[in-house]
Structure formats: structure tokens, C-alpha cells
Amino acid sequence: MRLAHEVRRTVGTLADGRRIIYYDDTEGAPERRAVDTRDLGPRELAGHLRYDALLGDWVAVAGHRMNRTLLPPRDECPLCPAGRSGGASEIPEADYDVVVFENRFPSYAPVADDDVVAPEGYLHRPALGRTEVVCFTSDHDSTFADLTPRRVRTVVDVWADRTAELGRDPDVAHVFCFENRGEEIGVTLHHPHGQVYGYPYLPARTAVVLARAREHHERTGRLLGADLLAAERADGSRVVLTGEHWTAYVPYAARWPLEVHVAPHRDVPDLVALDDAERDELAVLYLDLLRRLDRVHVAADGGRIRLPYIAGWHQAPVRAGRDVSRLLLQVMSVLRGPGKLKYLAGSESGVGGWVTDTRPEAVAARLRDLA
């Protein structure tokens, strides 16, 4: 299936100076010229980062996020187009295909408050970076799994575009594209959307994965991600879906009740490096996976349970270890059964000692059966 198509990109400015970018894949879509007339005042500045000396990691302090919008009623959704949200919309157009804008309540921003002074013996720095919102559709009641393959292909192009642009920012060290779905995950807005973070440092998981990848490459001359994919494909017991360019599998040491990794067959460092054929197949295979995940759990009345999940793209850092890093999509859920959540309790939260209640092979078999 060939899904590659033209996407028109239009850049605008919101009332407080934040950028908004429209990505139109609908033939004949109107020009994006609507003006944001809200009285928002100045944009929020980024907070600052504090260094955790015990773990060697940074923590962002962003007090303004305490006041961000929390699960508003449908007619006040800030991600619906203007005219459907009672004046609360962040998107001034009457409709849209895919849209990206800078978060009004950013964890990281291009301008930061430099007045914070760290106490003696502690380290801090401005939380310079990027925090963007990606709206996949203007349909409030939809989900990513309801999108057409063509629209998913557009979203893949958008992720790649944001990765490339944010990667050119000298303040950004790592770009992470992700989606949170479901109140169990902690979403604050129901409208189908994701985010893109441009971190000014390497987050802890990224730094650990990079260190492991470097060690493996120095020892074997091969990419760790490629070797793990080859092992999963050779074993086969945890493979869920496979195509010409991609394989989806439950990892051997899965930590979450439901966890699936989606990996390209070709060695690529990030979304930007994917070619048209890889992007086309990804759009179809990813939809297949998400629709299977939505059939895993059945409610007491026989209805389906839309799986709460986090889906995140692990990419090579912007300027470090690109020669040993390999692209990977991780989809994970805290739901272990209807009404039953996986809590990160004493062992996981206290010392990071994970215990999983399900065998990865059984999860993979269940997902294969849900074709």
C-alpha cells in the first residue's frame, strides 16, 4: 500500500507568541489564516532544572504546570477547533487535519526564568528546550486507533519533521515523541493528542540505553538494537506482527502488563531517517497493533475496554551516540485486567526492582490471536 502524499505545512503564531503549525493532508483544505484573538498575556517561561546528585539526573521544576487545564467538559476542550470549545481553543481555525503548537504550560521552553539561585553545594540550570502538543485529528471523540492509514502516515511525517526541527535547536539534546491515552495514565485532556519534548539533557533511560549500546558496539562491533531484534525474530515466540520493514514483539524482559516494541528492520537512528516505504508500512502495522490492544480486555457487559497506554519513540540523541543508537517504538500499559492497575509500589518505586505478573510469551500469543 502506497500512502506517501503531499502534506502542506503552514506556520502561524498564537496570541501570546507561541508557534502553531498546521499539517494538511486533505486535498483542497483551506488556507490557514485565522487569527488568535484571545487575551492571554505573556507566554509562560520555562522553569529550571535541579541536579539530583544521588542519581546523577536532572529534575525539571515547572510550578506553572500546577494550573494547567484538567479534564475539561467536551465543549471547553482546548484542542478542538475554534467554535467547538466555548472560546477555550488553542487552535483558531474552524477545522484542521493535524496541528502542532507550543504547550501553554511547558516543562521546557525557549525562554527561561534566570532569577533562580541555587543554594551552595547544589546545581541548577534553566529548563531551556521545547514542549509541543500534537493533535492527530479535530474529532474529539476519536482515538489514534480510529485514524485512517493515510492520516497515521501524516502523523509519522509530522513526528519526523518535529524531530528534525527541534534537533537543530542548540538547547535540545534529545527529542522524544510520545502519546498518553487514558485517565489511568494521567492524561489531562481526552482529545486524541500526543506531545514532543525537546530535552536540554539526556533523560536517565536514554543515557542508560546509550551506555549499553556503546558497550555492546565496542565489544561486538554490532548494534545492540539490531541484535535484540534478530534474536526476537529468530525465537518467534514473542513476535506479534511482522512485515517487510517492521516487526512488533513483546520484549523478553517486558516490565509492564502489556508492553510491545516496534522496530524497523533497517538500522536507522531516528524517525527522520525512515524512507517512504518504511513510513507507509508503519502506518498500517501500528494501526493493526493498536486495534489488537483495544481488544485485549473485555468489560463485564461484554463491551470493549480501550486500553490506556503510553507510546513513545526512542530515538538517537541529537548529538551523541548516533552511530550506535537504533530507532524503537515502545507501547506500554498499566492495565493488567479490567479495573486492575499495575502500581509501582515498594520494590519498583523504592529501588527500581521490577516484578511483572505476566509471562511475555503469553501476552504475545494473546495479541497474535486477536488478529
Active site residues: 193
Q: Mark 301-327 as b/e (b = at least 16 C-beta within 10 Å).
A: eeeebbbbbbbbbbbbbbebbeebbbb
DSSP secondary structure string for all residues of 289-318 = HHHHHTTS-B-TTS-B-PPPEEEEEE---S
CA dihedral defined by 335, 341, 347, 353, rounded to 10 degrees?
0
88 phi, psi to nearest 5 deg = -95, -5
- DSSP-assigned states of every residue in 317-356: -SSS-TTT---EEEEEESEEETTEE----HHHHHH-----
Alpha carbon distance 158, 114 (integer Å): 32
- 107 vs 126: CA distance, rounded Å: 11
Give the Å distances, CA to CA, from 93 to 14, 37, 79, 219. Answer: 11, 12, 11, 54
Count of C-beta atoms within a 10 Å radius of residue 220: 10
Return the SS3 of 158.
helix
